[in-house]
Structure 1
Amino acid sequence: MLKTNNLTKSFGGLTAVNNVNIEIQKGSITAVIGPNGAGKTTFFNMITGVYTPTSGEILLGEESLVGLKPHAVSKKGIARTFQNIRLFSSMTALENVMVGMHQHLKYGVFSTIFHLPSYKKAEKAAMKEAYKWLEYVGLSDVYNEESSSLSYGAQRRLEIARALASKPSILLLDEPAAGMNPKETKELTDLIYQMRDDLNLTIVLIEHDMKLVMEISEYLFVLDHGEKIAEGKPLEIRNNQKVIEAYLGKSAVTTA
């Protein structure tokens, strides 16, 4: 469903991602892991149009995504959350989700300015749908609260709700469990399974919580210093010496 061929991104003399080839299967839960500085977020940023690759290809089916801006990538059905939460802090939870729906709203500038009946009807429908997504992630009771007042775990789920509101077929989650307590992480795990099964989503996540990764991922790609060093199922990755070395150093492999 999503594929990269020799994907590379350089910043001056630094190559952050180097000739990375991956293939994401439709309907899968796939993880991209690696130590800090491995190039994982840069990889996500290229897929979503934040960065233009220095070279290589990104294919959604048979269609190239290279050169598309983030809003255009979103229209193709790819949504994401961010490593550092990016919500509109002074907007309510409901309003934040409505922002994620903007590309599907049907009213134009003229009807918006003059609050014509078509605008009012579309706005009412948008609010109803936004509330549905808040309900889906378990946040309907805080729909009218400013996002800045929510707990960290709730803000993470609000970001997911906003992404879902864009009606994606592929959802990229950048460290979704960061800062969560064990209870929130368990709820997140259940939500990821639920989203995949209920919404027919393909989910790709970057995550440092290895317990979560090994439990939920069906396939993993491992990056280190911008290069793919391994791929496979969780058990294969757990026992891969290159992966152990990347995380723990050569001495860990020697000791093992």
Structure 2
Amino acid sequence: MTILEVNSLTKQFGGLTANKDITMTVEEGKITAVIGPNGAGKTTFFNMITGVYQPTSGDIKLDGKSIVGLKPDEVAKKGISRTFQNIRLFGEMSVIENVLVGMHTHLKTNLLGILLNLPFTKKEEASAEKEAYRLLEYFELDHLLNEKANNLSYGAQRKLEIARALATKPKLLLLDEPAAGMNPKETRELTEVIKRMGQEFNVTVILIEHDMKLVMEISEHIVVLDHGEKIAEGNPEEIRTNPKVIEAYLGSAAVH
């Protein structure tokens, strides 16, 4: 079943075309990777899906309904969450507070309920804290729940950002270079987490990643961008042997 459908998506900034006529589908429950050389337009593509940028033309459908024109918070409420190339945590807040922030999109508590300390509010807060702890346990961060996010190692911060994104209970999770800056041990651990995450949290994953070993190990479908255009798509083996992909990464000499 198709969860995301992208049709002829184009984004222009003045005279620069960052994405041109991209068409692809994402199947529910599968891990899809979007890869390509630096400057291929991958993050711009993610930014359009999440409402940060509006496309110049084309359409994006989630569960068959267009999400073009929605703001990022509205897209999040529809069920799309993401992480960023550059980690965006609340550094002075604790680990568990960062995860609780991610839950605000689906909590019913309002300011009045908090001020009056209503029973429903207390019950919902307790439930949210329990769910936050479960997420931290899953990412092996539960022993750090009261630590400031700034004090975590780089790899732990990456995992915390994914945990916070999952706290929004998304249908679709976009990971923008989740292994960037990680050492080999951290990357191996993250690979295993992403493999299991789809079933554990009933979420479909799309990732941008430069670590080809990680991409080939966990992806079921790969889309390749170059200079803002889709040049190939298929399973890992098809992509690994595709002459256009080899040329994009290694230059034309590599395919002759």
Specify the TM-score bucket, using the shorter chain as the normaliser.
Answer: over 0.9
Q: 1:7 corresponds to which residue?
A: 9
Distance 2:109 2:239 in 1: 49
- 2:197 is aligned with 1:195: yes
Q: 2:211 corresponds to which residue?
A: 209
Shift of 1:161: 0.5
Residue-by-residue CA offset, 1:71-96 (whole Å, 9 max, x unaligned): 11111111111111000000000000
Q: 2:113 corresponds to which residue?
A: 111
Q: 1:240 corresponds to which residue?
A: 242
Distance 2:209 2:227 in 1: 16
Which of these residues, 81, 93, 96, is aligned with residue 94 of structure 1? Answer: 96
Aligned-partner residue type, residue 197 of structure 2 = M
Distance 2:201 2:136 in 1: 15
Shift of 1:66: 0.1
Distance 1:17 1:46 in 2: 10
Distance 1:17 1:168 in 2: 25
Shift of 1:139: 0.5
Residue-by-residue CA offset, 1:195-235 (whole Å, 9 max, x unaligned): 11222221110000001111111110000010000001111
Aligned-partner residue type, residue 84 of structure 2 = F
Shift of 1:117: 3.5
TM-score by length of 1: 0.96
Shift of 1:118: 3.3
Identity %: 66
List alignment gaps of at least 5 residues for structure 2: none
Aligned-partner residue type, residue 190 of structure 1 = E
Residue-by-residue CA offset, 1:83-112 (whole Å, 9 max, x unaligned): 110000000000000000001112112122
Distance 2:109 2:28 in 1: 33
Distance 2:32 2:202 in 1: 14
Which of these residues, 42, 67, 75, is aligned with residue 73 of structure 1? Answer: 75
List alignment gaps of at least 5 residues for structure 1: none
Which of these residues, 36, 52, 55, is aligned with residue 54 of structure 2? Answer: 52
- 2:230 is aligned with 1:228: yes
